[in-house]
Chain A
Amino acid sequence: MTVDAHTARDAELVQLLTPEGERLEHPDYPLNLSDQQLRELYRDLVIVRALDLESVALTRRGELGLWPSLLGQEAAQIGSGRALGAADMVFPTYREHGVAYCRGLPWLDILKLFRGVNHAGWDPKEFGFHLYTIVIGSQTLHATGYAMGIQRDAHAIAEKGETAIGDAALAYFGDGATSQGDVNESFVWAAVYNAPLVFFCQNNQWAISEPLERQTRIPLYRRAQGFGFPGVRVDGNDVLACLAVTRRALDRARTGEGPSLIEAFTYRMGAHTTTDDPTRYRHSDELEAWKLKDPIARVKAYLSRTGLANAAFFEEVEAQVAEAVVELRAACLALPDPPPQAIFQHVYAAPHRLLEEEQAAYETYLAGFHD
């Protein structure tokens, strides 16, 4: 068994901020952020973690049916999410709450899905953020087809003598998904059509209880080479590195250089979902080791040490977070159940005989009850 797949060797890991909060430079990934931008990244990370923890708590109270926590993966999501342009389209799994946050999608819309009010419901075009996809890896093909559409749009615009915006698609998936046929098919498609697409794999080391070595014998980013496009491994707990690496990959996509694979080497600190019990399959010392690489602590250390933020800023963020959490809980509890007619709505765009018949019959049946 190779050990490369599950140890992040320094030589191959892109890192711009160490766990101790030291700023590093990387020749291929220069990053210049303003002080304000650095502080905002910290705010994003803290808010997203807090809303995620609150969502776990809501599940424990029986208000949500399930919650896939992003705990530990905040930097991978905020870093990549903040690299996106307004016209780009994201194809997420079901754990990209941090990316959704970056795209302006209200957290409550995500809760509706996990509360069972609907199966998603937001408008992907409005947010540049497609619906959550629960079947593992399916969305990578949707992202590839969408990117092929971008190419065709650009071609049509060029024929008119105009310049296309150069938008791109970004597909998220996990380490487990790399075993799926669809992900491998999407690699083939994206490569042969040179699609403007970034594959962003959050390798959080575990696919429910299956460890990384059950998915691969080589580091995941190296798989890209076999398909004919570049792959890079980035410290997934380093928000700056995730931002820089994703920006570079998106630039490649926009300028016609084709797809890239980013492997964000990170760790799922919580359970797979709230129905899972990680103590049955992994050692607590593994968790303790990853806690030392916490994505938020290192940004706070960096901001404090360099004087980019002071105590007042951290307090302000904390107050904002406390308010957001209270608001989220109240909004979740206030979500009404949909009316029974909602079962029949939005299945088809055009009228459908069978559905109309069944809806009418069920409404008649319901009307037969006394209130």
Chain B
Amino acid sequence: MTEVTAPQTQAREAGTQTLTMAKALNAGLRRAMEDDAKVVLMGEDIGKLGGVFRITDGLQRDFGEGRVIDTPLAESGIVGTAIGMALRGYRPVCEIQFDGFVFPAADQIITQLAKMRLRSLGKVELPVVVRIPCGGGIGAVEHHSESPEAYFAHTAGLRVVACANPVDAYWMIQQAIACPDPVIFFEPKRRYWDKAVVDPEVPAAPMGDARVVREGTDATLLAYGPMVKTCLEAAEADERSLEVVDLRSLSPLDTETLFASVRKTGRCVVVHEAPVFGGLGGEIAARVTESCFYHLEAPVLRVGGFATPYPASRLEDHYLPDLDRILDAVDRTCAW
């Protein structure tokens, strides 16, 4: 255990280092807890075990059971009591073990967490973060590979973000914890083991900003979370000049950055793992169409999951957008 946590303890003093996204999240949580004694973590198995993905590894050992709280096994209880802790002045960070388990907590998130500030006319603030490992691609059983972001993005009062790489993971989790509003924080679980150089002195962009992660001129790929890397790979593999934008914030959207990219390239493909129908891609396509109509050379296309429950893992390669499906959409938009 010492070997696992020692590098994170040093993260701040030792400066730049290479971290997986999992370790980057751990280091970000650690730093937030060091900076503010009111930050508490709550969730199932997050203490001694360090979470099923080890995101909270070593934190209970270093901060104690009062701040890293192993909870009973009930998601509504986790979020509901986190709301109460926040009402008492704490900054709880809830871990939902897997995306498909957030639904028992959906009532507390949607009917309580999202609305309490408005109901109190601003007298109550709920700086609660709900961390959700999301998406597929790890060969898991059912309920362990879902993309529920549209439910929460549709709920006013919440902020919804998704990190796509270790640098953003390190900074965005700290920004989410510092945010005075409730934040639903999506972590793409199949990217937990991706590595990158993290500099604890150089902050990432604000949590609400989108980022152009690859410049291009022929078409824009809009993606977030796990699909950013897939889109980058698709762009690298293609001969055309494709621009890739990481949304980072799903609610609110940084439409300025998205529109600027689409106005430049004239073509747009939105890519996400969630089912296309009723997904964020539809919202983005509509907004891009309304605002960039005269710049568009072709309709905005969407690539995503099918209108089915997430399939069994032997089928997930068909369900998840891959390079071929993304580039097929680029072919279609460029052929218009």
Contacts and interface: CB of A to CB of B under 8 A. Distances in A.
A57 to B, nearest CB: 26
B215 interface: no
A169 B156 CA distance: 29
Of listed B81, B89, B124, residue having the most chain A CB within 10 A: B81
A53 B72 CA distance: 43
Contacts of B88: 145-146, 148-150, 152-153
A334 interface: no
A339 to B, nearest CB: 13
Interface stretch (B47-55, B113-121, B231-239): B113-121
A138 B107 contact: yes
A353 B252 contact: yes
Contacts of B125: 349
A357 to B, nearest CB: 8
Interface in A330-370: 345-350, 352-355
Nearest to A190: B81
Contacts of A147: 84
A120 interface: yes
Contacts of B179: 350
Nearest to A351: B208
B181 A145 contact: no
A93 interface: no
B157 interface: yes
A118 interface: yes
Nearest to B67: A152
Interface string B235-262: 0000000000000000111110000000
Contacts of B115: 119
A223 B82 CA distance: 25
A156 B66 CA distance: 10
Interface in A94-135: 118-125, 130-131, 133, 135
B87 interface: yes
Contacts of B314: none
A189 B81 contact: yes
Contacts of B111: 135, 138
B258 to A, nearest CB: 11
Residue of A169, A189, A355 contacting most chain B CB atoms (<10 Å): A189
Nearest to B249: A353
Given A141-B76, A192-B72, A347-B157, A148 B84 contact: yes
A142 interface: yes
Given A131-B124, A141-B80, A145-B83, A355 B117 contact: no
Given A138-B111, A148-B85, A185 B120 contact: no
Contact of B120 (A121, A140, A156): A121
Given A152-B66, A189-B72, A353-B253, A141 B117 contact: no
B121 to A, nearest CB: 5
Which of B74, B84, B253 neighbours the largest number of chain A CB atoms within 10 Å of its CB?
B84
Given A144-B84, A182-B80, A118 B180 contact: no
Task: Kindly name the residue among B157, B208, B252 whose own CB sees the greatest number of chain A CB atoms within 10 A.
Answer: B252
B87 A130 contact: yes
Interface centre among B71, B76, B89, by most chain A C-beta atoms within 10 angstroms, is B76
A181 interface: yes
B71 to A, nearest CB: 8
Contacts of B255: 353
Contacts of B90: 149, 152
Interface string B56-78: 00000000001001011010110
Contacts of A138: 80, 107-108, 111-112
B82 A145 contact: yes
Given A131-B119, A349-B125, A350-B181, A185 B254 contact: no
A141 B87 contact: no
A155 interface: yes
Interface in A291-334: none
Contacts of A152: 40, 66, 88, 90
Interface in B93-128: 104, 107-108, 111-112, 115-125
A188 interface: yes
Nearest to A352: B252
B89 A149 contact: yes
Given A123-B120, A138-B108, A346-B122, A145 B84 contact: yes
Closest 9 CB pairs between A and B?
A145-B84, A141-B80, A149-B88, A145-B81, A349-B180, A185-B77, A146-B84, A346-B122, A119-B119
7 contacts: A140-B80, A146-B88, A148-B81, A155-B66, A182-B77, A346-B120, A354-B251
